[in-house]
Amino acid sequence: MQIKLLFHTPLSIAVSAGRTCWQSQERGGCYPLPTDEIIEADREFLDRILNKHKHGSVAEHISYNFAIEGISRACLQELARHRHASLSVKSSRYTLKELKGEENIKEVASKYIVMSGDERVDECSILALENLQKLLLSGISNDYAKYAMPECYKTALAWSINARALQNFLSLRSSKSALWEIRNLAFALFEALPKEHKFLFESCMNNEG
């Protein structure tokens, strides 16, 4: 799994939105251009209204765009359940074309599927991958072959989400009860955030287990 942050809204945008609500512009800094380098008074202001008082509408002014590679289709389904996020997913036809030309599936299986670490599950996943290749070699079209793709099959996507929805996502998906793969994703997303933004999400992370 690889996570890369492609874009984020600077914190000063949220400061401006929050200060507008509370008519407290004179208590904050002056930011001619959007920036993450906000003064301590504004950092404390965001911490108070977003973390302590949960004024989520202000958090919606901050957005993030991530490039996510190497997650399973099963994890993608879990990701898609978060309504306040937008995703654009890699077409499967490109990897199906690559899979068709592989000579030894077992040797390259980890290129195409997410391994669970459970030997029994992984053996079944590799078998499913081999069966998928057999279908492709038989001449079946990709539009039909994709219905035989195992849930562990890897994909990639661009994922955009605002800070309010990301707080909710991290609270739910960093839990021990979450699917192990999406829990790993939650921690990877947190680590990919700019260090100046992490104070908005630290209380959302469940580090137990």
pLDDT digits (tens, 9 = 90+) for 118-131: 999 999 999 999 99
**Using N-to-C axis directions, what is the helix angle for 92-100 and 119-137, rounded to 10°?**
80
Residue 29 and residue 82 in one domain: yes
Bridge partners for 3 per DSSP: 68
Mean pLDDT, residues 172-195: 95
**pLDDT on residue 124:** 96
Q: Within 10 Å of residue 180's Cβ, how many Cβ atoms?
A: 11
Query: Per the domain annotation, does 98 fall within a domain?
Result: yes
Instruction: Verify that 167 and 80 share a domain, yes or no.
Output: yes
Report the C-alpha gap between 18 and 135 in whole angstroms.
56
Q: Which residues are annotated as a binding site for FAD?
A: 57, 81-83, 162-164, 168
82 plus 99 within the same structural domain:
no
Final residue of a structural domain among 152, 171, 187: 152
Cα radius of gyration rounded to whole Å, the chain:
21
Q: Look at residue 148 and tell me whether its pLDDT is greater than 80.
A: yes
Residue 151 tokens read as: 């849930």
pLDDT for res 39: 95
Could you tell me if residue 195 is inside a domain?
Answer: yes
Q: Are residues 104 and 190 in the same domain?
A: no
Residue 209 lies in a domain: no
Q: How many independent structural domains does the chain possess?
A: 2
Average pLDDT score, the chain: 93
Note the pTM of the prediction, 2 decimals.
Answer: 0.92
Same domain for 179 and 129: no
- Identify which of 50-59, 143-152, 200-209 has the greatest average pLDDT: 143-152
Binding residues: 57, 78-83, 91-93, 146, 162-164, 168, 173
Q: Which residue has the higher pLDDT, 30 or 153?
A: 153
Whether residues 36 and 131 share a domain: the answer is no
What's the pLDDT at 209? 58
pLDDT in tens, 85-139: 999 999 888 889 889 989 999 999 999 999 999 999 999 999 999 999 999 999 9
Same domain, 67 and 105: no
Whether residue 109 sits in one domain with residue 177: no
Residue 13 shares a structural domain with residue 44: yes
pLDDT value of position 27: 85
pLDDT given for residue 92 in this prediction: 85
Active site residue 48: no
Give the percent of the chain with pLDDT over 70: 99
d(CA 96, CA 109): 13
Nearest CA to 163 among 121, 108, 117, 202?
Answer: 202
- pLDDT category at 29 given cuts 50, 70, 90 is confident
Domain hosting 116: range is: 93-152
Residues 46 and 130 in one domain: no
Pair of tokens at residue 186: 């939650």
State the catalytic residue, choosing from 19, 27, 120, 173.
173
In this structure, the answer to whether residues 65 and 168 fall within a common structural domain is: yes
> What whole-number distance in Å separates Cα of residue 122 and Cα of residue 37?
47
In this structure, the answer to whether residues 23 and 82 fall within a common structural domain is: yes
Residue 110 in domain: yes
Task: Report the binding-site residues for dUMP.
Answer: 78-81, 91-93, 146, 173
**103 domain-assigned:** yes
The domain that holds 176 is classified in CATH as: 3.30.1360.170
Q: How confident is the model at residue 84 (pLDDT cuts 50, 70, 90)?
A: confident
